[in-house]
Homo-oligomer: A and B are copies of this chain.
Amino acid sequence: MIKIGIVGGTGYTGVELLRILAAHPHAELTAITSRKEDGMPVAEMFPSLRGFVSLAFSAPEKTPLHECDVVFFATPHGVAMAQARELLAAGVKVIDLAADFRLKDTAEFEQWYGMPHSCPDLLAEAVYGLPEINRAAIQSARIIGLPGCYPTSMQLGFAPVLAQKKSLVNESALIADCKSGVSGAGRKAEVHALLAEASDNFKAYGVKGHRHLPETVQGLQAIAGRKIGLTFVPHLVPMIRGIHSTLYATILPEARDIDFQSLYEDYYRDSIFVDVLPAGSHPETRSVRGSNMLRIAVHRPAGSDQLVILVVEDNLVKGAAGQGVQCMNIMFNLDESTGLRQVPVMP
């Protein structure tokens, strides 16, 4: 059994980790910290876990995280980098669901997250936890920086096109029009996320700039091995879970005869959690609700050179907790899908 610690289990990614790990056949939930909720049984705060999780939250200083095999950080940005060194020294692997180990450029990190990076050496060592792209590196990693929810969908959506030797699309003018359910904003008391504000409503936000932009550009450039340019516009959908990214790329004249459907199917042939739908499909976010699956459909509207890629994922699973467990499985040489075979809940 893998002994697991969770730092910061009171948010949505934390409770989602608990939901998945509670049913994982090789996971032993050992400790879960929360300074504020010290002593409170997890299942008292989250009654959905009654009968599945018997742990109580404990204050960090009382919690022997160094006895775990792996510690997940489901915390605000900045927490994982403060505690990672000590855990690593104790032989504990670290998987961070926040942004501390995503951006390789510390200057960029500081610009977007408003704090200095406290351990650039660990950052250099950290592996970006996108298994479909980085499987080998994840297997031997000690520290994982898990991708953000939007970046997962954008990178897996654009990857098959960008990973080709020669450019197939105008890579300097990619567009990602992304839509997310409100759980993406976290379990924080904020007026704009109230049901009375966000329900029966739709809006864009962060058009000027969003933290997931530099992360995605970094990832796409790593995939392409070339510079890319991306316009990213996130929107808020009045639903709980789910991200739908609509991606646009202009096909270059020399690539007009490419069969993009096959290109995508081939690229993801061995990726158990990426499902390329039949040509002409329109994936729905509910088709992945509660599951680690990401579904993609490839479109090319009649007579145009515009490639339109539709991507759906559950932002809390493939976009966060599930992807974390997928990385853990790889790091501990388990089958990649262990504990991640939940059938999506529909309707």
Residue of B nearest to A21 (CB): B343
Is B195 a contact partner of A240 (Cβ separation < 8 A)? yes
Q: Considering the chains assembled together, what is the distance between the CA atoms of A277 and B207 in angstroms?
A: 14
Q: Which residues of B contact A177 (CB under 8 A)?
A: 177, 246, 248
> For the complex formed by this chain, how many copies does it contain in all?
4
Q: Which residues of B contact A284 (CB under 8 A)?
A: 47, 201-203
How does the 8 Å CB contact mask read for A93-106 relative to B, with 1 for contact and 0 for none? 00000000000000
Would you call A23 an interface residue if the criterion is a C-beta within 8 Å of the partner chain's C-beta atoms?
Answer: yes
Q: Considering the chains assembled together, what is the distance between the CA atoms of A200 and B175 in angstroms?
A: 25
Q: Which residues of B contact A228 (CB under 8 A)?
A: none
Would you call A250 an interface residue if the criterion is a C-beta within 8 Å of the partner chain's C-beta atoms?
Answer: yes
Q: Which residues of B contact A163 (CB under 8 A)?
A: none
Q: How far is the CB of A335 from chain B (nearest CB, A)?
A: 15
Q: Considering the chains assembled together, what is the distance between the CA atoms of A288 and B47 in angstroms?
A: 9
Is B282 a contact partner of A205 (Cβ separation < 8 A)? yes
Partner of A48, one of B286, B306, B310: B286
Given A202-B237, A231-B308, A304-B229: A293 in contact with B51 (beta carbons within 8 A): yes
Among A120-128, A138-146, A179-187, A322-330, the one that faces the other chain is A179-187
Would you call A28 an interface residue if the criterion is a C-beta within 8 Å of the partner chain's C-beta atoms?
Answer: no
Q: Which residues of B contact A185 (CB under 8 A)?
A: 196
6 closest A-B pairs by beta carbon, nearest first, are A48-B344, A48-B346, A189-B189, A203-B284, A177-B177, A201-B286
